[in-house]
A = this chain, B = another copy of it.
Amino acid sequence: MAETASETFTLVITGAPYSSQAPQTALGFAQAAVTAGHRIDRVFLYGDGVHLASALSAPPSDETNWSEEWSRFLSEHSVPGVACIASALRRGLVNETEQKRYELPAANLRTPFEIAGLGEWVEGRIKSTRTLYFHAGD
């Protein structure tokens, strides 16, 4: 049914920026999907993919800041970006709520990313026409 537009996607990113190409390939896909008139239901960050939601990444100025690019995409197209809470807490990605709960010295989650459980992934999988995974390569 590629011809009938307005299909929906859930994208799952499990590879970290500056360690894998996963966030880049996922962004290329997401932009093309939106351009074709489809909708991204949500982007779910899992495993090492949660590092994409860091507010503190500062790559050299001649390199793309993938966290910034993804933030902009999510905001422009009102797409929820959700980092898995279990993956995020282990890897040191927290918002202010988690900062307080675990008495941590700071929060580092980039706007508009949110933190939530795997239920968000399950729901996306059920609702969306397709769920695609973007893993680390090699």
Q: Which residues of A contact B (CB under 8 A)?
A: 16-19, 47-48, 51, 54-60, 63, 67, 86, 89-94, 98-99, 102, 104-108
Contacts and interface: CB of A to CB of B under 8 A. Distances in A.
Given A18-B91, A19-B48, A104 B55 contact: yes
A103 B121 CA distance: 33
B59 A90 contact: yes
Q: Give the 10 A-B residue pairs with the shortest CB-CB distance, closest first.
A: A54-B92, A56-B92, A106-B106, A57-B92, A18-B90, A58-B102, A58-B89, A59-B90, A56-B104, A56-B94
The prevalent SS among residues of A at the interface is loop
Given A16-B48, A19-B48, A57 B91 contact: yes
